[in-house]
Amino acid sequence: MKIKYDEFEKAVEIFGLIGVENKDDIRKKYLKLSKKFQDINKAYEILKAYVDSFKFRFTKEEFQEQHPFSITENGQWSLW
């Protein structure tokens, strides 16, 4: 694997490596970061399921609620 220095630098930054680290320290940091990614994935799945089951009303009132600042039929900005 050919590694560019900027890629190496980014990897060090992502893992928060400072000073001298050994392979075991890097693995521990990897596991901690991967746990965070699992939490992010779970949160994403929960939010996606919530949004997927959300009902939308295609009414003027719903539009005005979702877009309080919008252009009226006469081309003017309006706060409903």
Average pLDDT over residues 13-24: 89
Amino acid identity of 30? Answer: Y
**Mean pLDDT (the chain, rounded):** 86
As for how many domains the chain has, the answer is 1
Of 16-20, 26-30, 35-39, 40-44, which gets the smallest average pLDDT? 16-20
Under 8 Å between Cβ of 71 and 78: yes
pLDDT at 17 over 80: yes
Structural domain of 17? 5-79
Q: Which residues contact 78 (CB under 8 A, 6 or more apart)?
A: 69, 70, 71, 72
DSSP summary character for residue 75:
S
Q: How far apart are CA 9 and CA 3, in angstroms?
A: 10
Higher-pLDDT residue of 66 and 77 is 66
Mean pLDDT across the stretch 37-41? 95
pLDDT above 90 coverage of the chain, percent: 52
According to the model, what pLDDT value does residue 20 have? 79
DSSP labels for 25-36? Answer: HHHHHHHHHHHH
